[in-house]
Structure 1
Amino acid sequence: MRVIIVGAGEVGSNIAAGLADSHEVVVVDVDGEQVTELNYSLNVLAIQGDGLSLDTLEEADVGSADLLIASTDDDETNLAICGTAKVLGDAFTIARVKQVGFLRTWEREPGAFGVDFMVCSNLLTAQDIVQVIGLPAAVDVARFANGLVQMAEFELDEDSPLVGQTVREADRFELLTFAGIVRDERVELPRGDSRLDVGDRVVVIGPPESVHRFALTVSPTEAANDTESVFVIGGGEIGYQTARLLEERGLSPRLVESDESRAQEVAEELTDTLVFQFDATDSDALEQENFGEADVVVVALESDQENLFVSLLAKRFGVNQTIAVVETGDYRQLFEAVGVDIAINPRAVTAEEISRFTREQMTEKLAFIENESAEVLEVEIDDESALVGRPIQESVPDLPADVVVGAITRNRKLVSPRGETVIERGDHVVLFLEADSAEAVTAAV
């Protein structure tokens, strides 16, 4: 597949890195230094130029592209690039936007702006945040099979009852599969006698209710009560969307916004959210509003420095779970290293969503684990699949060894993925695999 990526920032570079080994990739960016670096570091053709320029897009030969991804930091620029690409050829176009309004317009009329698929960074980030809330010790969550299956990654601390147990001892939840263990930045496929240790990140796949029960065993002290009190710090688009989605879940979050006019606007639109107007770095004001009694604090301010400060302040107040938005991808590990429970980078979330579209049509949903060293993907089984009509224990030899069948849904019902389970045509199968095996697995199933 021939892919043109316009915009070589964090989003574009991450996508290019994931595609370079198996596709013909051309990257366009105005930054000459970034272009030079990409030409040396990746197997791509990087071109310096303005992606809005017809001449630049013709130089990149957009007319012969199969896929065009507009991933600059400017919404209007990305929409214009997609529109121009449709004039020059018939590439499938993907636009990255931040404003939810553009997404709503596109959803009303798919194909609007010349965009075939639109990815909204702010909404995706809010959705990721809300998925994690309520699962103590969870560092990543994704849903598959129309919500029937959930993947969650949990970090074990020294107080977790699971530390010292084997996977066989810990595996006591209906339809739940231990898919992987992330240890020392390496992904291991668990065996029954694999022993869990402090600092391990355990990846499980199963129905949401079983994942939730497992979460209670990972960190029972944090899970003594269901999540009820959530503070959202920052009334920008990510904070607003997070509060809105929490309202949809039946919660009544509290939101802090320093700008008076924005606070009033948010208060008028979110009827079940209690909005406060003050500076979130004011510890006295936070204490007055019982900040330390919150179950979860989501920090989505305008700068990484402020987000880190308020997150650590929340920990000092005694908040159980802190979730911070990190605009600079390199800071994500730093945030978590100094005590923030979960750091979410909107650019990484966006790159992951766009990367799903590079898979074969059968791949329905994709999630990444540990800096893309492992993947969780959902596939629909057809008559040509290596899995169809055979028990899992017989099908596995046809696939790379590092593949785990995490879940199966059939006619919108979960099927237990045991060794003797026969996979049928039309089943949706959720697989956990090491990234190096992705292409082989996709081709086989």
Structure 2
Amino acid sequence: MDIIIAGAGRVGFNLARTLCGTHNVTVVDRNAEALQRLQESLDILPIHGDIENPDTYRKLMDRKSDLFIAVTDLDEANLISTLIADDVIEVDRKIIRLRNAFFARSSIRQKLGIDDAVFPMRITSETVASLLDYPKANNVKRFKYTDFKLLSVRVGAAEKELTLEPDGYAVVGIEREKSFFIPEPGEAVKPNDLVYLFGDERPIKELCSRLETQAPAVIQRCVVFGGGDLGVSIAKALVDRGKDVKLVEKDIKLCRLAEESLEGEAMTISCKYGTGGLFEEEGLGYADMMIAATDNDEYNIIKSLEAREHGIRKVVAVNNEMEYYNLMHSLGIVVVRGPKMSAYNAIIENIYSSGVVTERRFCGGKGIVFLRKIFPGSELIGKALKPIKRGKGGLVFIIRNGELIPFNDTMEAQEGDVITAFCTLESETSVKKWIHGL
């Protein structure tokens, strides 16, 4: 594909790095230094200029592009650049990153002919809020074609090595000492493993309660560190779920803005002079869950460790930089993708998903799950489907009538089946080729 990316920031860089290996990628930005860094490390075409100026796209006017992606930090710039691209360049599909939740509710996106929009602030906030229903879990993912969920849980350090006996769910991934792999059936889990479980949430929740003994069984009192847009968004999501929320911010101006935005529904605490005695003075240590939601990963890690030292049993850190993901996990911190990582992952999943196959990533992008639903009228109905060959790295199931059936032998496809394949990043190509080629 020929892909144009408007914006060479962190999201644009990560998208270009992922896509340039198999696609022709052009990156447009007014920041010459950012473009230079991209060109030095990636095989891309840089175009220096204002993405809101039609003249910037002059070099592209005689080319057809399959995809235009606008991912700057400014909604206005992304919207205008998408309009210009639609008028100046022949573009098949447009994806836009937006911060303001208003656009999710309005019809502006449809009026502007934008095919897909991602709202990373909302994604991160909803991810944190989902932990309220699954307090023992590290993360929860929902899917388009099934009610089954993918939950991750940390095995307690005091646990012995044990073999799980799945009933209504499957063990589809294990992260152990910074390494992620798809386990063999019956493989034992070890203390401190981060285990990924897919299937019926009821037995999974029961298992999570058995494996994770440190996290609280119920979350009511929450502390959010960070009074920026993300911290306020998370605080609102928690308040909407009826939780008691305290928001802590060291910038007085942001503190006042947060207080106005939250309209008194959450307590806003200023920590201008540090947080040394704040946990005792404000009773933060009595919280059930703490979320470090600033745009600084190092600060988020420090606050998470500090919260644990003061007795908070569930600590969550927002992750904006992939390089800190393994560190956070090794420290036993629950990791939630920040807006920039959420934008990147949502766009990549959007690009590689289709009307036939949906693609999702988990474990910091180390694990991938493909889902293919057999709709009414599909040519696959009644066809004998062969499973992926052994050694290709996939763990495959068919979801049929609410059951999770291992797909190890040839099976006849039925209407409504959802073929589900889990794999590592290394085996992505072979599994993708198999599921698309059924």
In the alignment, is the contact (CA less than 8 A) between 2:232 and 2:262 conserved in 1?
no
Name 1:424's counterpart in structure 2.
414
Aligned with 2:354 (options 358, 361, 372): 361
The 3-state SS of whatever aligns with 1:194 is coil
Query: Deviation of residue 204 (structure 1)?
Result: 1.2
Aligned equivalents of 2:394, 2:145: Cα separation in 1 = 22
Name 1:4's counterpart in structure 2.
4
Relative to structure 1, the CA distance from residue 370 to residue 306 in structure 2 (aligned partners, 3 Å threshold; closer, same or farther) is: closer
The 3-state SS of whatever aligns with 1:144 is coil
In the alignment, is the contact (CA less than 8 A) between 1:206 and 1:407 conserved in 2?
no
Give unpaired runs (5+ residues) of structure 1.
none
Identity of aligned residues (%): 24
Name 1:120's counterpart in structure 2.
119
Name 2:79's counterpart in structure 1.
79
Relative to structure 1, the CA distance from residue 150 to residue 102 in structure 2 (aligned partners, 3 Å threshold; closer, same or farther) is: same
Relative to structure 1, the CA distance from residue 361 to residue 326 in structure 2 (aligned partners, 3 Å threshold; closer, same or farther) is: closer
Aligned equivalents of 1:405, 1:74: Cα separation in 2 = 41
Aligned with 1:165 (options 162, 167, 179): 162
Q: Which amino acid aligns with 1:396?
A: P
Relative to structure 1, the CA distance from residue 74 to residue 299 in structure 2 (aligned partners, 3 Å threshold; closer, same or farther) is: same
The 3-state SS of whatever aligns with 1:315 is helix
- Could you report, residue by residue, the CA deviation over 1:364-423 in whole angstroms, capped at 9, with x for unpaired residues? 6433234433202322225898975468xx63146973222356265xxx2232458754
Query: Deviation of residue 261 (structure 1)?
Result: 3.1
Confirm whether residue 395 of structure 1 aligns to residue 386 of structure 2.
Answer: yes
Relative to structure 1, the CA distance from residue 188 to residue 251 in structure 2 (aligned partners, 3 Å threshold; closer, same or farther) is: same
The 3-state SS of whatever aligns with 1:50 is coil
The 3-state SS of whatever aligns with 1:87 is helix
Query: Deviation of residue 320 (structure 1)?
Result: 0.9
Aligned equivalents of 1:20, 1:385: Cα separation in 2 = 34
Confirm whether residue 214 of structure 1 aligns to residue 227 of structure 2.
Answer: no
Aligned CA RMSD, in angstroms, stands at 3.2
Q: Which amino acid aligns with 1:91?
A: D
The 3-state SS of whatever aligns with 1:111 is helix
Relative to structure 1, the CA distance from residue 64 to residue 299 in structure 2 (aligned partners, 3 Å threshold; closer, same or farther) is: same
Query: Deviation of residue 98 (structure 1)?
Result: 2.2
- Could you report, residue by residue, the CA deviation over 1:234-275 in whole angstroms, capped at 9, with x for unpaired residues? 34322222233234444343334564532432342x7xx432
Figure out how many residues of one structure are paired with residues of the other and give that number. 428
Aligned equivalents of 1:399, 1:20: Cα separation in 2 = 30
The 3-state SS of whatever aligns with 2:183 is coil
The 3-state SS of whatever aligns with 1:301 is coil
Q: Which amino acid aligns with 1:86?
A: D
The 3-state SS of whatever aligns with 2:50 is coil
Relative to structure 1, the CA distance from residue 247 to residue 377 in structure 2 (aligned partners, 3 Å threshold; closer, same or farther) is: farther
Q: Which amino acid aligns with 1:239?
A: G
The 3-state SS of whatever aligns with 2:26 is strand
Q: Which amino acid aligns with 1:312?
A: L
- Could you report, residue by residue, the CA deviation over 1:109-132 in whole angstroms, capped at 9, with x for unpaired residues? 432455332212211111222234
The 3-state SS of whatever aligns with 1:362 is coil
**TM-score between both structures, scaled by the size of structure 1:** 0.83
Aligned equivalents of 1:146, 1:275: Cα separation in 2 = 39
**TM-score between both structures, scaled by the size of structure 2:** 0.85
Name 1:404's counterpart in structure 2.
395
The 3-state SS of whatever aligns with 2:142 is strand
Q: Which amino acid aligns with 2:115?
A: D
Aligned equivalents of 1:31, 1:264: Cα separation in 2 = 35
Relative to structure 1, the CA distance from residue 306 to residue 84 in structure 2 (aligned partners, 3 Å threshold; closer, same or farther) is: same
Query: Deviation of residue 432 (structure 1)?
Result: 1.0
Aligned equivalents of 1:16, 1:384: Cα separation in 2 = 38
Relative to structure 1, the CA distance from residue 135 to residue 109 in structure 2 (aligned partners, 3 Å threshold; closer, same or farther) is: same
Query: Deviation of residue 297 (structure 1)?
Result: 0.6
Query: Deviation of residue 144 (structure 1)?
Result: 0.9
Name 2:268's counterpart in structure 1.
276
Aligned equivalents of 1:227, 1:390: Cα separation in 2 = 48
Q: How does 1:115-264 map to 2 (within 5 A)?
A: 115-133=114-132, 135=134, 138-145=137-144, 148-159=147-158, 161=159, 163-166=160-163, 170-172=164-166, 174-223=167-216, 225-257=217-249, 259=252, 261-264=256-259
In the alignment, is the contact (CA less than 8 A) between 2:388 and 2:394 conserved in 1?
no
The 3-state SS of whatever aligns with 1:204 is strand
Relative to structure 1, the CA distance from residue 53 to residue 254 in structure 2 (aligned partners, 3 Å threshold; closer, same or farther) is: same
The 3-state SS of whatever aligns with 2:219 is coil
Name 1:25's counterpart in structure 2.
25
Relative to structure 1, the CA distance from residue 441 to residue 60 in structure 2 (aligned partners, 3 Å threshold; closer, same or farther) is: farther
Name 1:64's counterpart in structure 2.
64
The 3-state SS of whatever aligns with 2:151 is strand
